[in-house]
Chain A
Amino acid sequence: MTAAGGGGATGRRRGWRLAAWLAGGLLLAAVPLVVRNAFVHDVMILTLLWAAAASAWNIAGGYAGQISIGHAAFFGIGAYTSSILFVDLGVTPWLGMIVGAILAALFAVLISVVCFRLRGPFFILATLAFAEVLRVLALNWRSLTRGSYGLEVTFRESAANFMFAGKRPYTYLALLLAAGMVALVRGLERAPLGYRLVATREEEDAAEAMGIDTFRAKVIGMALSALLTALAGSFYAQYFLFLEPGQIFSFEVSIQLPLICVIGGIGTAVGPLLGALLIVPFSELLRAWLGGAASGLYLSVYALVLILVVLFMPDGLVGALGRRAQEAAA
């Protein structure tokens, strides 16, 4: 997309791109109508859910350059808040997930105040510590979270309860969540906040010299990222209806989000979606085919892909595909 291409060509290309996106979206939306297989729905839901959560991580990690390996904290706050409010107080999860998102954003601000004086590995380790603190708290605060017994959300089918009998409504909601998230990040990319975040990531001191309040930009980016991650967490809770601190506030969740982003293309709007499309169905298939015998195997392959991608294709799939497209165009 060079300026030399002229307004008409760029406009046409943008039109094509929009059409391609719409077609892709419609195709995805049509799958649940045609396919009845529960496994396909399951894979689709998980793929879209992780794509959404990874997109949320991407705002802080990809755009602002604040690599967090503690996002399980926000994911867990979202999941537990909506579930506890529903189970103990009968508050509808639709409202509960908003409360959870706000709580997660507030927690993110707290973390930011502590962590944003730190950079590089120190920052990463601090985010890890915060998530671990929440995990230990959730394990021990039994009256609130039921600890390691797990919190079971009783299934009462009703749209008002965010609970549905079939998988199809969940599939559409996941699609909506993921599409909304990607669109939001795409919008953010062109908004003043997006530019501020990228400038902060690239050269914090220079950004500061340009008059950007980098601390403020980072805090807002982190809070937004936490808020959206919590929404994904609430969705997870509504879909699985069972929460356990060791699983929710886990290092696996924290690491899953950056992995998806890195493989897809960190700091790009579609990267998390591509990463999730590649990784999640693959791991679910491997898990389904090999069953218990494969425990460990699929994550090993996953990790190997990550190492190779990060060392030899650091721009991820988006970067590789983008280069290919540029070469083809030239």
Chain B
Amino acid sequence: MPRFTVVKLFSKQYALAVAVLCVFFSPLLRAQDQFPFHLESTNSTDRIRIAVAPFKPQSADPATAGYKNTFDTTLFADLSAAGIFDIVSKSLLPQSSPGNQSEMNLAQWSAAPASAAMIAFGNLSTQNGHIVVNGFLDDAKNTQFPQVFVKQYNEEASDDQARQIAHRFADEIIARLGGGGVGIAETKIYYVKQTGENKEIWEMDYDGANQHALTHLGTVSMSPRISPDNSRLAFSSLGRDGFQIKMFSLLLNRVINFPAAGGTNVSPAWAPNGNQIAFSSSRTGDPEIWTADANGSIARRITSFRGPDVSPVWNPKTGGQIAWISGRTGLPQLYIMDADGSGVQRMTDGGYATSPSWSPNGQFLAFAWDRRYGPGAPGGQDIYVMEITTKKWIQLTHDSGRCDFPSWSPDGRHIVFANTPDGKGAHTRIMTMLVDGTQRRALTGSGADMPNWSWK
């Protein structure tokens, strides 16, 4: 009898010790399963150090100074936002800015404090109502053949065109120095803008400038998706028959025909070849993923489980896979499957996952995820990126309110998403960041939601 007591006591202590050990090691266990994978090195020493000289105005026209300011500001912002350059601070630049190759003194720019490896410079003038920009890129380390390229741009004189020229020049620099990456300075972002009761589809430049409305339907429209050739915009809109897929032509600047069907039809997605569309439709009673060709015919159902299936997105690299959100096991989870509906694979192990976006190289999925979903649960909805082959993930946003609707930039280096600092829907704004979560900044004020980055 006394021996039993001792054994019982020991087992109690043992259980306590095990419990303490579990509590102590649980962060380590968790840290192991979220071991960060190598996304992209953002070590600044790897980056090319580039100096952006203020362009030299070459005409005395008073408007030139304004265009020059717009151009310089946009070019500097584009190259800083690219995330691949180490930009020389403006205060470290030499005082004289060269206007063309013969005025360039490389030693001045390659020496400290500028220590630039590359120099972007040039001149800007206004002639007969046209802006003419000559842009140069020089390799400061190559004294023998410094010139990398020279470009001339000639556009109608306006502040907007000065910005567009700067975007094109920045894209040209990124294409030459980005190691295969394309520039995104000319890309657009399509989003939903709340105007009073209604929600319309709007468009803006990638840096948040030039925001303007596309649709004027006077109803609730959501989830805009731009086609790979940037000619059509698919979205879902509330009409007499409930939510239906609508198609907007950017070339004709009006809504074009797309067949309506029964039930709720939402969240369209373009296949990378532009010939197919996937969307969620409840025409059979249960929201399932359907595919159709680009004008809405030959609709086929590709999921058939009980429970909602929404938010499809194609693998933009191969076009052979679809990732989507399914509620077949209760809370919505992230799944991938082949484009014909076979090979279903569950990606998330719990929580509340929504709105996937597939990275342009096909390697990663970005999505919004509330890992501890439920009343009183800590944390909240944040943006995560998952490597598909290993299912390892990293969290990109922390403690900045609800984040949703991530969308990859075509260069795979940026993610745009919707963020609500205080959780109120009316205060949703669109933000952008690099894929490692740095350089986060807001592009719009409140009232903007569901961004979608154009393909190129």
Partners in one complex: no
